Structure 1
Amino acid sequence: MEFAVLGPLRAHGPDGPVHLSAKQRAVLATLLMHPRVVVSTERLIAAVWDDPPRSAVANVQTYLSQLRHALRGTSLRLRTESSGYACELPPDQLDLLAFEEAVRRARRAREAGERQAAERAYGEAVALWQGSPAEDARLGGVMAARIAELEEQLVLARSEWIDVRLELGRDDLVAELRTVVAAHPLRERSWAQLMLALHRSGRRSEALDAFREARALLAGELGIEPGPELAELHAALLAGDPALSVRPGAPAFLGPSCQLPADTSDFVGREAELEVLLTAARARRERGSPPIVVVSGLPGVGKTTLTVHAAHRLRADYPDGQVFLRLGRDAAGPRRPADLLSELLRSLGVDGTLIPEHLEERARLLRQRLADLAVLIVLDDAQDETQVRPLLPGTARCCVLVTSRSRLPVLEGATRLPLDLPGEDDARLLLERIAGGARLGAAPDAELDILRACGMLPLAIRVAGARLAIRPAWPVREFAGRLADRRLDELVVGGLDVRGTFGGSYAALPEPARRAFRLIGLADLGSIAEWSAAALLGRTGLEADAALETLVAAGMLDSREIDEAGQPRYRLHDLLRVYAEERALAEDSPEERRAALGRHVLECLRRIRAATSDLPIPTAPPYLLEKPEPLPEGAGIGWLTAERRTLVHSVSAAVELGLVAEAAELAHHLSAYLNLEGFLDDVERTQRAVIAAARDERTALRAELLLAGVPLSRGAFGTAGDHFSRLYDGFQRIGDRHGAAYALINRAACHHGAGLMDEALDDAQRAIGLLEELGDTGGLDYAWTWPIWIHMELGRHAEARRLCQDRLAGAGDDRRVRGDLLRALGTACYLSGEAAEAVRYYRESLLISEVIGHRVAAGKVLRRLGEALGALGRFDEAVDALDGARSLFRESGDGLGEALATYALGEVRLRQERAAEALALLAGAYERLGPDGPPVWRARVLRELGRAHAGVGERERAEAVWREALRLFEHGPEAAQVSAYLADSA
């Protein structure tokens, strides 16, 4: 149809929609609403302008000329008459003419007693209306009467159509009639039709209520009583007149009633998801399209249960019936759309002999059958969009709910509801409703173990609950133990089988996706990025990506997460991982499994070499490497953060594969990142795995160097120092001078932390001599750190400053080294009384730390910066810097760093003479340091804590605290300062 005016104005030419200006649309709309009738020039002008300009006549002529040009090639002809203009076009090219013709056919058929033909014709007529006439054209007020006339024709046609359907015995008109009476509450004919429809639906009391409502409206609005038709119908209803139930015509449609499976009596939770589903299902789409809701998720997550539950809630909204159709696979594979259409048409009352042969003809018949019905269609376990599209109705009165493991992303116009696992509370409630709340409540730990073994998957929980319900005397703890050891073997009961459910989905996958699924489960990485899948498969990134996409589309893999490096991450549900590993053990040979895991270990090693090349060196001699390959853009700290669990796991995997050298190198490079970010438990885990597997003493001792760095990072300097002393002896024994140098420099760090400065300086100088002989520049950068800080602790600030400047001159472009040296130089300036100069160096160091992403280094610089700003009286800036430092230390698990930043903040509050706040901060810092914290820092915190006590008037407490500080300081300028505080207090 080329032209439409019963709704938005539409004009289609040979090349598609014709675009017209606002005035051209107004002229065309006016002519189309008076087809084949001469419209005077004056009426055209009034239709276009409420206040026409002087040039209106000329303008109308111009618009008509432009329309003739724009509509060239269409069936419309504009005719000029002496008094105006007319448009000529065939009846089938204008919706208004087609509407009038369909109404005429309907009335002729009705007069001839052909009610079914009349119903079809009326339906075609009403379906042509898409809104108010020319609703998007700006027309003058003169057109209001014509618009009202056309709308009255629609109301009359709809009323006659309802009469015909009532005559045919249709009793599914209630919802439609309620809409009609709401739109036209003073039309008595519509109220009569509603009363009759209610009565024939078995709702006699509601029919009487409708009469009372109509009577109240008429009295309130018009001050009149209902007319004869309503009054007589009311009397007949009261009398129970059997004639009202007579249905003279054969029904045009035998509705499917309700084909839904039974609702689940123990349905729990899903309130938010249910609300989304119901809201979407009750929405009527614009432009006549039906609501479509796709509920997706992994196998067993409860898609069908939720959808059937919602469908039962929606029954009243779709009174013409509710259809349920399973789309899943049969023995021959996914069910064909043509077969599904045949089943669907039969359920809608179509005689099997009348169902067409071809798919498109069946789809067309379905749309015709549903055109004026309100039917809810549930399509369960859809495989893909091609299976669903032919089953969709064409009008907005129907609704389609689809369950699928895929989101069906290219199904047009659908609302998508991805279904996640339920929360622990809902999962617990489901299990208790099936197995018994009192029984499970008596063993809460076992209950939680069962839920975790089920991975919170509703299907698995339902099976577990049923197993317990069958055997009411079975101890819950015993079942929980069996689940932990034999999960999929235990999760089967009656017709429910978790392994079988997974198996159906697995069998439907193409072989590349099945292989990817098996190897991802075998690797047991928790979550993976595409590069991990490519390594396991031994394929290109594109091939791996295609396999991952297939698994996601099949609902076997989740992909809703983007990691810190910007990579999509893919996760297997825990039970799916168990199933995938089963399939790998059954289908892949030991050689194939070992090769896949080995490829992944080697790829982890290749990538971590590049990712850690700019990080601070670990506390062990470096591996001599060629220049590492560059990582893809966006890698670095973010990539290491995203892949930490994968990389830690790869160390254990390498050990299990017997790749001990690779495991040691992986753990070495990884410790650079783990120490930087404070993941010390991971350092311990990986190094202990290497030590246990090491085949030679050198490998074991170097792994122990990295392991001894953990207590050093935690501030346990005594424990760490003893460990490094033993390691130094071990390296001396086997002749490993490089390892001995690192044992010395790390022992120097421990002596420094413990306040043993002379011993620290001696170890540092010996280590520096060894490292210079060995040519280890990275080790030298680390080793020179300690003489600088030791000189500062000994009050030799000028010497520390000189060393910093000398090292900076030789640091070149190494930003990490420059950042550390600038922080040390700033500290030397601060201790020399040059706080403003210190701030300048700190800010430069902080910028470097932020650029290269070293959060721990940034925390240390912020602590020092806050200290210097506080000394300058810039208190707000100081507090901001120290709060930032505390957050960074807290995030990285650096308890010592957080304690020192809190101490510095307490100092700032003392400078502000806010002693009470300082007291709380300093007490917290001292508690955080603990009894094993560095003695020098414990003494410093106690010194300031005493000042805070004195500031709030607690003299005795202040003196006691200072005496403890003096004991820890023993001697030196800081001890003298505490002695002076005590003397002043006395």
Structure 2
Amino acid sequence: MAVEFRVLGPLDALIDGQRIDIGGNRQQIVLACLVLEAGSVVSIDRLMRAVYGDSLPSSARVQVQICVSALRRLFGRHGHPGSIVTRNQGYLLRLAEMEVDLQRYERLVQEARAAGEAGRKREASALYREALNLWRGPALEGLDSEPLRLVADRLAESRVTVIEDCVEYDLELGRHREVIPELNDLVATHPLHERLRGQLMVALYRSGRQAEALDAYRAARRTLIDELGLEPSEWLQQLERSILSADSELSAPESPVTAAMAVEPAEPALELVNPERTPGSEPAPAARGGRPVPCMLPTDIADFTGRSEQIDAIQAYLAAAADDPGQLAVPIIVVAGKPGIGKTALGIHVSHRLAVRYPDGQLFADLHGRSSDRVSPMQILERFLRILGVPGNSIPDGLEERAEMYRGLLSDRRMLVVLDNAGSEAQVLPLLPGNPRTAVLITARSRLGALPGAVHVDIDVLDAAHSVELLSRIAGDDRVRDEAAAAEALTELCGRLPLALRIAGARLAARPHWSVEQLTDRLENESRRLDELNHGVMGVRVSISLTYDNLSAPARRLFRLLAVVDIPVFSAWVCAALLDQRLTDAYDLLDDLVDAQLVEIDGTGTGPRRQYRFHDLIRVFARERLAAEEPLAERAAALRRVFGGLQFLAEQAHRKLYGEGNKNLHSPAPRWQIPARATDRMLSEPLGWFERERQFIVAAVRQAAQVGAVEYCWDLAVTAVTLFESRVYLNDWRETHEIALTAVREAGDQLGNAAVLYSVGALALVEKRFAEARRRLEESLRLFETLGEEHGQAMVNRQLGFLERMDGNLAEAARRYELVLPVVRRDGNPAAIAYVLHSIAQIELERGNPAAAKVILGQALEFSRQVGGRRIEAQALDRLGQVHLQAGEPDEAVVIFGEALAATRESGDAIGEAYATLGLGMAYLHVGDLGKADSTLTSARRLAVASGETMVEARVEFCMGELALAGDRTQAATVHLERALDMFREIRAPLFEARVLALLSRLDGRCRVA
């Protein structure tokens, strides 16, 4: 019995065409979430938030589980037991015969776009119409759930875009009269969509209704000005001008009848990849011109999958070399990749496709490069010479003599030599011919970079689609199709490594009574994963072991220790910390692992910016060897050295960004120091370093908490705020601090508790959650006072001073800053002094004392330049610009804000850039350059939205209101000011709220006078 779900309208479930009663609102919300992600796991937490929002009752989890149970019973009664499967902390909707109208809609839209791109406009229009006919009303209509409303809004936007694209093709097909009624309805429903307005204008004009087309433009202009305070876009204005001038480019295309008679172009015929060799062609003869024509290639891989890009590259290179009369060197291709990646399979498969280009034969040898039974060039040359017709008693004894005879026999032949699984350049060099008409294809785990003139083809894991395809070819199409979700999960657990996929497929093929999910469940246990990926003579562990066993003892130890750190990617310095060795020695060992393809380079960074990673299955192998060969104490010590090295670098990056004098609270945990020269190279761009190590820092905070390294846990989290704040990574800030707060409280670490609470309060300030910020900061202050930690108290009082200023309590704010100033002066911390001074200056500015503020800011600027941190200097400059504005010196303000903007860009401070751009826009407004003010404030709004800085966005709206007033655009000014008022109220900024209300009051008075 087929199950159909409909979400493009009210939620419906139909079984064999009959609608079933889903149940109440909660069950409908849970089912809608599962349907929208059918085949994927939906966590219980997401379901709870979908049902209850952010205010979760204590019974939320139980209520969701009750809903799931009720839905299971419902589908069970209708013949679909087991339709909802429990997974790790979530549920998965899995039905063998299931259709979702949304999936069909998206498929039809994709087909329509493809048809349109191919020039098949009539087909594109029909497919779009078929997709749109699936809608029965607003998506998920009637379900009261914020996450589902977000999905519904996204789908509604998508629907409008599809309608616009469909109408575009209808207009191109000459259906202008037919679409006018539809466009009238659409414009009424979506009055701010300019593209629909423009399409209506075109349809009316082409129907001979020029006056109505111009009326449609005027109606659009009125709506946009009334609703947004904006003129129509340049595109819509140009369309009006074209209609007025009867532009010939607006003329209607050929009539529908003529268009219907037109024959769309036929699809291009498929070309053979190798036109010289067609299916069914005869194999090469046994002899050519009386000489043997060897064909030593192993059987082609019947189920070979993917790699089309690499195959095309190999064929193109060898074809170009063969056709080039000036080719003097032997064309050599090296296919390189990690163990189990499918190098041999690719080499054999492409060799069969190339064979026809080499009529004098194909030689093949497995060199067993990294195994104990490695084959010597002497042995390979003996085999090659025998098959080329040399009697055994005529084969020379020496390597050089055999190589010379081999090259002589190949000197006038066109042959392909395939050397599989090469271990080194030395193993390969004697086997290279001297004739450029003979090509050599080599597969190896390392790139064999010393082979002169070789072209390197690197191969990686298969993509998701080809991974499933390979599994299907081995285990059976129907079987994999019936368990599509489980099959995709299985390929991911195999790391999309071809060898692992082959083993998994072979195990399923050998056990027809197993389900795909059954094998998937077995592989989910990482400790047994390599045991499961073993079948007959195939084994992932064996494949990796061949490489591991041939490494030097120090390289093997580094490989094992890399599994200590639970990180997705790592930098080279980590290796030195793990081994407690010099950087250069550790880097050499890391290069050995890269050459052996046990570690892969991640991304395109070079030098100190380069990063590395493990393949998932190689990581599993490394963890096995770690547990078997490395003492527990050595593992723990290595991990703490890595934490210490990361903490050391994070502190140095913070100092480089904020200056030498900028102090921060830190734990007494030992640092693993890196030499100054190497540190300077790594941290030449401090924020860039933080960005590269971001994933590492977050993972390290989590792992430090897990292993009880609490001091590293909280210190790394707090130090990383340097990055999280400047690049607006608020989720990382929140996640690391939730972990750290739990860790310090469980460990009873009071200093850590105070420091993390302070940082959590700072996050709440950034997110404009002022009540929570005050609560966290006051709790932190009490802890610092109990500990007698003067520097910590000063940090907290600075933030509380800011809160008081935002509440309009300027006297209390000033008192807080006066408490801080002597502490930071005693610390000799010029960065902190600069911060406090320009905060005090801001209070003087808000009290209406620009002269006093200017003096104080001059001192702040002097201290910030002592530090050498451009970010602090930028903040002092920004405040100084505000002083000049308030003092009626806008020209000076333009210069100062320009300097502040340059400093923020140099330091990579996104939020600071938004503030400086806002200040520059305000300065242009006061100068009277309204054009520059408009463009600059628009840039400030874009920066504010991108960084999530609502305060800047609200102030931009306020300034936009002032700008509109300056241009006598009263209605637009009202729109901007009301937006600013809403935002200031939302973030609870009464001082700014009062300013907006005052301006609105004056505006209202002006309107009454008018």
- Provide the rounded CA distance (Å) in 1 between the counterparts of 2:415 and 2:293: 9
- Provide the rounded CA distance (Å) in 2 between the counterparts of 1:564 and 1:889: 33
1:867 and 2:922 aligned: yes
SS in 2 for 1:632: helix
* Contact in 2 for aligned 1:299/1:555 (Cα 8 Å): yes
Aligned counterpart for 2:654 among listed residues 598, 609, 612: 612
Residue 507 and residue 263 in structure 1: after superposition, are their counterparts in 2 closer, same or farther (change >3 A)?
same
Q: Read off the aligned partner of 1:279 and give its amino acid letter.
A: A
Residue 534 and residue 621 in structure 1: after superposition, are their counterparts in 2 closer, same or farther (change >3 A)?
closer
Aligned residue in 2 for 1:687: 737
1:253 and 2:265 aligned: no
Q: What does the per-residue CA deviation read over 1:257-288, in whole Å, with 9 as the maximum and x for residues that have no partner? A: 3x322222332322221110111222226354
Residue 772 and residue 346 in structure 1: after superposition, are their counterparts in 2 closer, same or farther (change >3 A)?
same
* Contact in 2 for aligned 1:563/1:569 (Cα 8 Å): yes
Matches within 5 A, 1:452-467: 452-467=492-507
Aligned residue in 2 for 1:33: none
1:985 and 2:1007 aligned: yes
* Contact in 2 for aligned 1:620/1:705 (Cα 8 Å): no
* Contact in 1 for aligned 2:594/2:601 (Cα 8 Å): yes
Aligned counterpart for 1:822 among listed residues 877, 898, 907: 877
Residue 979 and residue 900 in structure 1: after superposition, are their counterparts in 2 closer, same or farther (change >3 A)?
closer
* Contact in 2 for aligned 1:524/1:577 (Cα 8 Å): no
Aligned residue in 2 for 1:858: 913
- 1:442 is displaced (CA, Å) by 4.9
* Contact in 1 for aligned 2:567/2:695 (Cα 8 Å): yes
Aligned residue in 2 for 1:600: 642
Aligned residue in 2 for 1:538: 580
* Contact in 2 for aligned 1:536/1:600 (Cα 8 Å): yes
Aligned counterpart for 1:264 among listed residues 297, 301, 316: 301
- 1:549 is displaced (CA, Å) by 1.7
Q: Which moved more, 1:869-878 or 1:287-296?
A: 869-878
- Provide the rounded CA distance (Å) in 1 between the counterparts of 2:980 and 2:476: 50
Aligned residue in 1 for 2:32: none
Aligned residue in 1 for 2:541: 499
Higher RCO structure, 1 or 2 (CA under 8 Å, sep 6+): 2
Aligned residue in 1 for 2:456: 416
Matches within 5 A, 1:902-981: 932-936=986-990, 969=993, 971=994, 973-981=995-1003
Aligned residue in 2 for 1:581: 623
Aligned residue in 2 for 1:649: 699
Q: What does the per-residue CA deviation read over 1:340-359, in whole Å, with 9 as the maximum and x for residues that have no partner? A: 11122233333223221111
- Provide the rounded CA distance (Å) in 2 between the counterparts of 1:855 and 1:983: 39
- Provide the rounded CA distance (Å) in 2 between the counterparts of 1:931 and 1:464: 59
- Provide the rounded CA distance (Å) in 2 between the counterparts of 1:830 and 1:333: 81
Give me the TM-score of the superposition, normalised by structure 2: 0.64
Residue 722 and residue 261 in structure 1: after superposition, are their counterparts in 2 closer, same or farther (change >3 A)?
same
Q: What does the per-residue CA deviation read over 1:29-48, in whole Å, with 9 as the maximum and x for residues that have no partner? A: xxxxxxxxxxxxxxxxxxxx
- Provide the rounded CA distance (Å) in 1 between the counterparts of 2:630 and 2:737: 31
Q: What does the per-residue CA deviation read over 1:559-612, in whole Å, with 9 as the maximum and x for residues that have no partner? A: 364448853222222221221122122111112212222222222233223221
Aligned residue in 1 for 2:553: 511
Matches within 5 A, 1:171-190: none
Aligned counterpart for 1:708 among listed residues 761, 767, 773: 761
Residue 898 and residue 501 in structure 1: after superposition, are their counterparts in 2 closer, same or farther (change >3 A)?
farther
Q: Read off the aligned partner of 2:913 and give its amino acid letter.
A: A
- Provide the rounded CA distance (Å) in 2 between the counterparts of 1:863 and 1:466: 64
Q: What does the per-residue CA deviation read over 1:334-383, in whole Å, with 9 as the maximum and x for residues that have no partner? A: 32111111122233333223221111111112112222222222111111
Aligned residue in 1 for 2:252: none
How many residues are treated as equivalent by the alignment? 712
- 1:824 is displaced (CA, Å) by 0.4
Aligned residue in 2 for 1:303: 343
SS in 2 for 1:290: coil
Q: Read off the aligned partner of 2:759 and give its amino acid letter.
A: L
- Provide the rounded CA distance (Å) in 2 between the counterparts of 1:923 and 1:461: 60
Q: Read off the aligned partner of 2:853 and give its amino acid letter.
A: A
1:397 and 2:450 aligned: no
* Contact in 2 for aligned 1:435/1:466 (Cα 8 Å): yes
Matches within 5 A, 1:724-735: 724-735=777-788
SS in 2 for 1:512: helix
SS in 2 for 1:300: coil
Aligned residue in 2 for 1:92: none
- Provide the rounded CA distance (Å) in 2 between the counterparts of 1:977 and 1:916: 13
Q: Which moved more, 1:796-805 or 1:386-395?
A: 796-805
Aligned residue in 2 for 1:152: none
- 1:888 is displaced (CA, Å) by 5.4
Residue 500 and residue 331 in structure 1: after superposition, are their counterparts in 2 closer, same or farther (change >3 A)?
closer
* Contact in 2 for aligned 1:516/1:547 (Cα 8 Å): yes
Aligned counterpart for 1:786 among listed residues 839, 846, 850: 839
- Provide the rounded CA distance (Å) in 2 between the counterparts of 1:416 and 1:402: 10
- Provide the rounded CA distance (Å) in 1 between the counterparts of 2:498 and 2:785: 61
Structure with larger Rg: 1
SS in 1 for 2:390: coil
Residue 419 and residue 784 in structure 1: after superposition, are their counterparts in 2 closer, same or farther (change >3 A)?
same
Residue segments in structure 2 that go unaligned for 5+ positions in a row = 1-274
- Provide the rounded CA distance (Å) in 1 between the counterparts of 2:954 and 2:395: 80
Aligned residue in 1 for 2:598: 556
Aligned residue in 1 for 2:773: 720
- Provide the rounded CA distance (Å) in 1 between the counterparts of 2:973 and 2:542: 65
- Provide the rounded CA distance (Å) in 1 between the counterparts of 2:395 and 2:646: 60
Residue 798 and residue 449 in structure 1: after superposition, are their counterparts in 2 closer, same or farther (change >3 A)?
farther
Q: Read off the aligned partner of 2:646 and give its amino acid letter.
A: C
Q: Read off the aligned partner of 1:644 and give its amino acid letter.
A: R
Aligned residue in 2 for 1:385: 425
SS in 2 for 1:349: coil
Q: Read off the aligned partner of 1:380 and give its amino acid letter.
A: D
Residue 327 and residue 926 in structure 1: after superposition, are their counterparts in 2 closer, same or farther (change >3 A)?
farther
* Contact in 1 for aligned 2:371/2:550 (Cα 8 Å): no
- 1:681 is displaced (CA, Å) by 2.8
Q: Read off the aligned partner of 1:978 and give its amino acid letter.
A: L
* Contact in 2 for aligned 1:522/1:580 (Cα 8 Å): no
Aligned counterpart for 1:328 among listed residues 333, 347, 368: 368
Matches within 5 A, 1:314-463: 314-329=354-369, 332-463=372-503
Aligned residue in 2 for 1:481: 521
Q: Read off the aligned partner of 1:715 and give its amino acid letter.
A: K
Q: Read off the aligned partner of 1:827 and give its amino acid letter.
A: Q
Q: What does the per-residue CA deviation read over 1:477-522, in whole Å, with 9 as the maximum and x for residues that have no partner? A: 4433332223323222233211111111111212222122112232
- Provide the rounded CA distance (Å) in 2 between the counterparts of 1:420 and 1:925: 52
Residue 735 and residue 548 in structure 1: after superposition, are their counterparts in 2 closer, same or farther (change >3 A)?
closer
1:638 and 2:688 aligned: yes
- 1:726 is displaced (CA, Å) by 2.6
- 1:756 is displaced (CA, Å) by 5.2
Matches within 5 A, 1:140-289: 252-257=290-295, 259-282=296-319, 283-284=321-322, 286-289=326-329
Q: Read off the aligned partner of 2:291 and give its amino acid letter.
A: F
Q: Read off the aligned partner of 1:268 and give its amino acid letter.
A: T
Q: What does the per-residue CA deviation read over 1:817-848, in whole Å, with 9 as the maximum and x for residues that have no partner? A: 33221110101222444322211111222333
Q: What does the per-residue CA deviation read over 1:777-832, in whole Å, with 9 as the maximum and x for residues that have no partner? A: 54443334433334444555444334323433555523443322111010122244
Residue 443 and residue 800 in structure 1: after superposition, are their counterparts in 2 closer, same or farther (change >3 A)?
farther
- Provide the rounded CA distance (Å) in 2 between the counterparts of 1:652 and 1:202: 63
> In angstroms, what is the RMSD of aligned CA positions?
3.8
Aligned residue in 2 for 1:187: none
Residue 910 and residue 893 in structure 1: after superposition, are their counterparts in 2 closer, same or farther (change >3 A)?
same
SS in 2 for 1:357: coil
